[in-house]
Amino acid sequence: MPGKNKSTNRISIRNVPILLVGIGGGIFYWFLESVIHAFIFGEGDLIRQIFTSDPHEIWVRSLVISIIIIFGGYAQFVINRRKQDEERIKRINAELDQIFNTAADGMRVIDKDFNVLRINKTLADLIGITKDEAVGKKCYETFRGSLCHIADCPLTKIFSGLERVECDSEKERRDCTKIPCIATATPFRGPDGQLLGIVEDFKDITERIEAEKKLAQRAQELARSNSELQQFAYVASHDLQEPLRMVASYVQLLERRYKDKLDADAHDFINYAVDGTKRMQSLINDLLAYSRIGRQSKDFESIECTAVLNQAMANLQAMIKETKAVITHNSLPTIKADSSQLVQLFQNLISNAVKFHGHEPPRIHVSAEQKEAGWVFSVQDNGIGIAPEYGNRIFVIFQRLHGQSEYSGTGIGLAICKKIVEGRGGRIWVESESGKGATFYFTIPNKGVMY
């Protein structure tokens, strides 16, 4: 790799000076030995001593020169290694310093006397000061907060032995404006584990708090609007009942009083008017029932689903008898719920299955299966079925797939089921194909089924 070769070449070049010094030292030693033997000990002339053929002398001089060269090479290796370590430490420190200063949160390091040792740019900008103005001062002098000088101070808790303290705090900037923060304090220890100080992290949560306030305000507005709409639907539906009753009564009175004076078309018109008012009354009653869901609030009670199903079937006795419907069920659980809404849920699903039957008498089966998150109930029938593309539409209020002449109703029953189930954290859906019956499923969560 290029980087590796470059490093190897750099080390080799650094080794050259010390090796040359070692070789030079060895040559100088050889020459010095020759001078001493030639002029001090009188063992011949200088040239003969330099080019001596004495094996003992050559061995001694070669050994000393080798030691000098080896020592020089080792010294160069140690020096190079130390320089590499210093460069690596500088690089690591530079990287850590960059990470520290570019961190998204404000950070500072404090010693045991509460003096600021280091502060990053994020915190300095947050406070409104420079780093030089903060370093060396007491932590509470540059960024005073609501927890300073009290027992709940995170720094005090760290010095008392805790390893991590996180809390909400309101800090004060240089211009005296307040900043809501999440302050986190952790110990700053040396290599030996000794506590040297504390590292503090500050996360500015101003935007989050503003968003939470707006969300709470929006939730309040929605709750108020929803309450007003429910009240409007209830009052409007209730007040519409009386004029409809008057219309129906007077039309029927007109028919009785002038029965012999009216032709067949007039009698048909009167029947249309009476039928229209009755359907409008039915629609208003269903709308009232829909608006009441969510307005009624009852405590949970243990409900046997079998008893609830039997009550729903009793309410539909006439319809069941007329269509010769057969309704069966598996073992059903006991749950905590509002019995009246659970009866309404079963009643709407069963009446829907009975109403939309085919040529054969309706056969309906109710079952329940326990899952990890709660209970999954199913109501299966052998009716006319529903095309898959209409699987969501049928749960929308006033949405009908058939004309009034084919099947009576207002198109609110399944919408009521959806509001009951989803309003309590559950889910309702249908699996069906046209002409092959339908199976309606709804879930009741463990955490607290309907109320």
Q: Domain containing 138 — which CATH number?
A: 3.30.450.20
Across the range 114-130, mean pLDDT stands at: 86
Has residue 377 got a pLDDT over 90?
yes
Query: Of 224, 258, 292, which residue constitutes the final position of a domain?
Result: 292
What the block records as the tokens of 350 is 């069963």
Mapped onto helix, strand or coil, the DSSP state of residue 192 is: coil
Segment 268-316, tens digit of pLDDT: 788 778 777 776 776 677 667 666 666 555 666 788 999 999 988 998 8
Q: Does 138 lie in the same domain as 11?
A: no
**Strand positions, DSSP E, 128-177:** 165-172
Looking at residue 197, its pLDDT comes to 87
**195 part of a folded domain:** yes
CATH at 246: 1.10.287.130
Q: Does 361 lie in the same domain as 329?
A: yes
**260 part of a folded domain:** yes
Q: What are phi and psi of 202, to 5 degrees?
A: -125, 120
Confidence band of 44 (pLDDT split at 50, 70, 90): low
Calculated CA dihedral for residues 16, 22, 28, 30, nearest 10 degrees? -120
What the block records as the tokens of 123 is 């915190």
% of the chain surpassing 90 pLDDT: 8
What does each C-alpha distance from 385 to 209, 272, 319, 366, 422 come to in angstroms? 51, 30, 19, 17, 23
Q: Does 306 lie in the same domain as 435?
A: yes
The better pLDDT of the pair 211, 450 is held by 211
Across the range 75-91, mean pLDDT stands at: 85
**245 part of a folded domain:** yes
Looking at residue 48, its pLDDT comes to 59
Give dist(CA 32, CA 131) in Å, integer. 62
Written as one letter, the residue type at 49 is: Q
Q: Does 440 lie in the same domain as 326?
A: yes
**What is the span of the domain harbouring residue 69?**
2-100
CATH at 337: 3.30.565.10
Segment 102-118, tens digit of pLDDT: 888 888 888 888 888 88
The conformational region for residue 189 under phi > 0 = left, psi -120 to 50 = alpha, else beta, is beta
Looking at residue 59, its pLDDT comes to 64
Q: Count Cα atoms within 13 angstroms, Cβ side, for 215.
A: 6
**399 part of a folded domain:** yes
Query: Of 258, 292, 326, which residue constitutes the final position of a domain?
Result: 292
Poorest-pLDDT segment among 34-43, 368-377, 401-410, 426-435: 401-410
Bridge partners, residue 197, by sequence? 111, 188
Give dist(CA 296, CA 230) in Å, integer. 12
Looking at residue 246, its pLDDT comes to 79
Q: How far is CA 166 from the centre of its chain?
A: 20
**153 part of a folded domain:** yes
Segment 301-360, tens digit of pLDDT: 788 999 999 988 998 888 888 889 999 999 999 888 778 888 889 988 998 888 887 788
Looking at residue 176, its pLDDT comes to 82
Q: Does 251 lie in the same domain as 170?
A: no
Q: What are phi and psi of 352, to 5 degrees?
A: -65, -45
Calculated CA dihedral for residues 310, 315, 316, 320, nearest 10 degrees? 60
**What is the total count of domains within the chain?**
4
Written as one letter, the residue type at 272 is: Y
Give dist(CA 425, CA 421) in Å, integer. 7
Bridge partners, residue 185, by sequence? 165, 200
CB 413 within 8 A of CB 419: no
Q: Does 199 lie in the same domain as 246?
A: no
376 burial (CB, 10 Å; 0-12 / 13-18 / 19+) is: middle
Q: Does 319 lie in the same domain as 246?
A: no
Query: Of 100, 121, 151, which residue constitutes the final position of a domain?
Result: 100
CB 332 within 8 A of CB 378: no
**224 part of a folded domain:** yes
Poorest-pLDDT segment among 45-54, 85-94, 379-388: 45-54
Average pLDDT over all residues of the chain = 77
Q: Does 340 lie in the same domain as 435?
A: yes
Looking at residue 440, its pLDDT comes to 92
**450 part of a folded domain:** no
Q: Does 181 lie in the same domain as 51?
A: no
**451 part of a folded domain:** no
312 burial (CB, 10 Å; 0-12 / 13-18 / 19+) is: buried
Give dist(CA 361, CA 371) in Å, integer. 32
What pTM value is reported for the model? 0.48
Has residue 183 got a pLDDT over 70?
yes
Q: Does 25 lie in the same domain as 151?
A: no
Mapped onto helix, strand or coil, the DSSP state of residue 144 is: coil
Give dist(CA 109, CA 118) in Å, integer. 5
Q: Does 198 lie in the same domain as 121?
A: yes
CB 240 within 8 A of CB 298: no
Which residue, among 411, 397, 418, 401, has the nearest Cα to 282 in the 3D structure?
Answer: 411
What the block records as the tokens of 116 is 């600021």
Q: Does 310 lie in the same domain as 401?
A: yes
What the block records as the tokens of 302 is 């243990």
% of the chain surpassing 70 pLDDT: 73
Give dist(CA 365, CA 242) in Å, integer. 40
